[in-house]
């Protein structure tokens, strides 16, 4: 699909940016990303229009856009992972439900074994029952990231400045403390111009969820990489923009009108869990996760739809096939039997 023609920042966005950035008209990239996505007046998620779905008017689609099959597989897999615990003793909590999405979230319309279902849209205070299955679908990639680049033999943090009515990427004089804390873990031999997008906010969100006094199962569907891959194998970074189902590397184009995402660091998410009492997390491709843990649901779907190519079969194929979502997305899960 042809990418939309980039448009300059609107006057309303520029006015809001000036208010957020102050006299210097500069924001670190993580604050710019948070502002461009979530500002109540100018942010992408503040716009009253469809964002998620298969239509041309939307910007991207997720597994939940494929209908109830995704929820059925999630319910089956989570119930299986809880065994021998009784799934009926646990409440399913979906964090980061897209506003305007299906009422009831991913499990809407899907038979499930849980005591109940709670959905927490983005921005809602975190509240988790004592026994819970906490899961998310593309929540962590939507958290703001810091951007750093190798320049002049040193790692420098990037920011966004307003210059002559246009947004421009600049080098910041000093890195934020959270960024400075990880710089000594970066390869000094990285080539000039190597970019790393640091998903620190995603790791912090995982830590906040894990710090709450609950027991049960944590499951995150998302796309991410190991710390080593981020530091050594992604020279252009992983932050991307999406608009009208087209991906772009121009993160400053159409501010407030395009989605911005960043791969999570699975090592950091896992560490946030284990440091708060979870067993060793398991990371699987989405394909492997459903094949390993939702086989009964897949078998029921195949038997019920035998002899015909149905929309439900096609949805399952997209979720599992390596060329579609099966390998693009990963699932990290972990269990905890005592609160932190």
DSSP β-ladder status, 282-285 and 330-336 = antiparallel
Mean pLDDT along residues 200-214: 98
Average pLDDT, the chain: 89
| Residue range 145-187, pLDDT digits in tens | 999 999 999 999 999 999 888 899 999 999 999 999 999 899 8
Domains detected in the chain: 11-336 (3.40.50.12710)
The model's pLDDT over 1-59, given as tens digits with 9 standing for 90+, comes to 444 444 567 888 888 899 889 888 999 999 999 999 988 888 888 777 666 656 665 65
Q: Is the dihedral of CA 267, 273, 275, 280 positive or negative?
A: negative
Provide the pLDDT for residue 99: 61
d(Cα 143, Cα 80) in Å, to the nearest integer? 29
Sign of the Cα torsion 35, 39, 42, 47 reads: positive
**Tokens matching residue 261:** 């995402």
Backbone φ and ψ of 306, nearest 5°:
-60, 140
Q: Are 33 and 238 in contact (CB under 8 A)?
A: no
Residue pLDDT, tens place only, 288-334: 999 999 999 999 988 877 777 788 888 888 899 898 888 999 999 99
Q: Select from 96, 337, 334 the least CA-distant residue to 217.
A: 334
Residue 78's pLDDT band, with cuts at 50, 70 and 90, is: very high
Decide: pTM greater than 0.85.
yes
pLDDT tens digit sequence for 82-136: 999 999 999 999 999 876 556 678 998 889 999 999 999 887 899 999 999 999 9
pLDDT of residue 29: 97
Express as a percent the part of the chain with pLDDT over 70.
91
């Amino acid at each position: 699909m042809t990418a939309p023609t980039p448009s300059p920042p609107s006057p309303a966005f520029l006015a809001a940016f000036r208010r957020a950035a102050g006299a210097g008209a500069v924001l670190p990239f993580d604050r710019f990303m948070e502002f461009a996505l979530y500002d109540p007046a100018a942010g992408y998620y503040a716009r009253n229009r469809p964002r998620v779905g298969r239509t041309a008017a939307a910007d991207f689609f997720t597994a939940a856009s494929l209908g109830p099959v995704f929820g059925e597989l999630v319910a089956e897999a989570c119930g299986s992972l809880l065994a021998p615990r009784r799934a009926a003793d646990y409440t399913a909590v979906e964090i980061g439900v897209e506003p305007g999405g299906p009422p009831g979230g991913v499990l809407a319309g899907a038979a499930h074994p849980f005591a109940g279902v709670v959905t927490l849209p983005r921005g809602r205070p975190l509240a988790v029952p004592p026994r819970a299955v906490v899961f998310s679908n593309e929540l962590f990639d939507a958290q703001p990231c810091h951007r750093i680049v190798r320049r002049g033999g040193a790692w420098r943090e990037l920011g966004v400045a307003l210059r002559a009515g246009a947004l421009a990427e600049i080098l910041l004089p000093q890195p934020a403390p959270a960024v400075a804390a990880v710089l000594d873990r970066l390869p000094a031999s990285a080539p000039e111009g190597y970019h790393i997008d640091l998903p620190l906010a995603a790791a912090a969100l995982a830590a906040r969820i894990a710090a709450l006094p609950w027991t049960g199962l944590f499951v995150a569907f998302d796309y991410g990489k190991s710390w080593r891959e981020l530091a050594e194998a992604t020279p252009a970074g992983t932050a991307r923009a999406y608009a009208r189902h087209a991906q772009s590397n121009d993160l400053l184009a159409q501010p407030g009108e395009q989605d911005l995402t960043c791969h999570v660091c699975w090592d950091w998410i896992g560490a946030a869990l284990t440091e708060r009492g979870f067993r060793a997390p398991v990371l699987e491709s989405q394909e492997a996760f459903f094949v390993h843990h939702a086989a009964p649901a897949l078998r029921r779907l195949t038997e019920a739809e035998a002899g015909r190519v149905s929309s439900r079969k096609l949805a399952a194929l997209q979720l599992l096939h390596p060329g579609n979502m099966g390998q693009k997305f990963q699932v990290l899960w972990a269990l905890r039997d005592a609160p932190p």
